[in-house]
Chains A and B, each alone.
Chain A
Amino acid sequence: MRSLEELKAIKEKAEKTISVRENTGASTITVAMGTCGISNGAREVLTAVIEELNTRGLANIHVTQTGCPGLCHKEPIVTVTVPGKNPYMYGKVTPENVKKIIVQHIVNNQPVTEWLVNLEE
Chain B
Amino acid sequence: MEFYRSHVLVCAGTGCTSSDSQLVRRELLKQLAEKGLDKEIKVVETGCFGFCNLGPIMVVYPEGTFYCQVKTQDVNEIVEEHFIKGRPVQRLLYHEPDKETRTLEFDNIEFFRHQKRVALANCGHINPEVIEEYIARDGYFALAKVLHEMTPQEVIDVIKKSGLRGRGGGGFPTGVKWEFASKSQGDQKYVVCNADEGDPGAFMDRSVLEGDPHAVLEAMAIAGYAIGANQGYIYVRAEYPIAVERLQTAIKQARELGLLGKNIFSKGFDFDIDIRLGAGAFVCGEETALLTSIEGRRGEPRPRPPFPAVAGLWGKPTIINNVETFANVPPIIRNGWEWFASMGTEKSKGTKVFALAGKINNTGLIEVPMGTTLRTIIYDIGGGIPKGKKFKAAQTGGPSGGCIPAELLDIEIDYDNLTAIGSMMGSGGLIVMDEDNCMVDIARFFLEFTQDESCGKCPPCRIGTKRMLEILTKITEGKGTPEDLTNLETLAKTIKNASLCGLGQTAPNPVLSTLRYFRHEYEAHIYDKKCPAGVCQALLTYKILAEKCRGCGLCARNCPTNAISGKVKEPYVIDVEKCIKCGACLEKCKFAAVIKE
Partners in one complex: yes
Residues of chain A at the chain B interface (Cβ within 8 Å): 1-4, 7, 10-11, 13-18, 20-21, 23, 26, 28, 31-34, 38, 43, 46-47, 49-50, 53-54, 57-59, 62-67
Contacting pair A14 B257 (CB below 8 A)? no
Other A-B contacts than A10-B257, A21-B62, A23-B64, 8 sampled, CB-CB below 8 A, are A1-B258, A10-B135, A17-B136, A20-B5, A34-B85, A62-B62, A64-B6, A64-B63
C-alpha gap A59/B346 in the complex (Å): 42
Pick the interface stretch among B50-58, B125-133, B163-171, B291-299: B125-133
Those of B105-158 within 8 Å (CB) of chain A: 107, 125-126, 132-133, 135-138, 140-141, 144, 148
Contacting pair B140 A47 (CB below 8 A)? no
Contacting pair B4 A20 (CB below 8 A)? yes
Give the 8 A-B residue pairs with the shortest CB-CB distance, closest first: A65-B86, A63-B5, A14-B136, A62-B62, A14-B132, A1-B258, A21-B61, A54-B3
Contacting pair B3 A11 (CB below 8 A)? no
Residues from chain B with Cβ under 8 Å of A54 in the complex: 1-3
Q: How far in angstroms is the closest Cβ of chain B from A58?
A: 7
Q: How far in angstroms is the closest Cβ of chain A from B559?
A: 58
Given contacts A7-B135, A67-B86, contact A59 B125 (CB under 8 A): no
Chain B, residue nearest A2 (CB): B266
Those of B3-44 within 8 Å (CB) of chain A: 3-7, 9, 39-40, 42
Chain B contact residues, majority secondary structure: loop
Contacting pair A20 B7 (CB below 8 A)? yes
Contacting pair B136 A20 (CB below 8 A)? no
Number of interface residues of B (CB under 8 A): 38
Q: How far in angstroms is the closest Cβ of chain A from B5?
A: 4
C-alpha gap A91/B42 in the complex (Å): 28
Given contacts A7-B144, A10-B132, A64-B63, contact A21 B258 (CB under 8 A): no
Selected contact of B9 from candidates A21, A58, A63, CB within 8 Å: A21
Chain B, residue nearest A63 (CB): B5
C-alpha gap A79/B572 in the complex (Å): 72
C-alpha gap A43/B61 in the complex (Å): 19
Which of B39, B62, B144 has the most A CB atoms < 10 Å from its CB? Answer: B62
Which of B9, B61, B85 has the most A CB atoms < 10 Å from its CB? Answer: B85
Contacting pair B136 A4 (CB below 8 A)? no
Contacting pair A65 B85 (CB below 8 A)? yes
C-alpha gap A32/B164 in the complex (Å): 50
Contacting pair B259 A1 (CB below 8 A)? yes
C-alpha gap A1/B1 in the complex (Å): 22
Q: How far in angstroms is the closest Cβ of chain A from B371?
A: 27
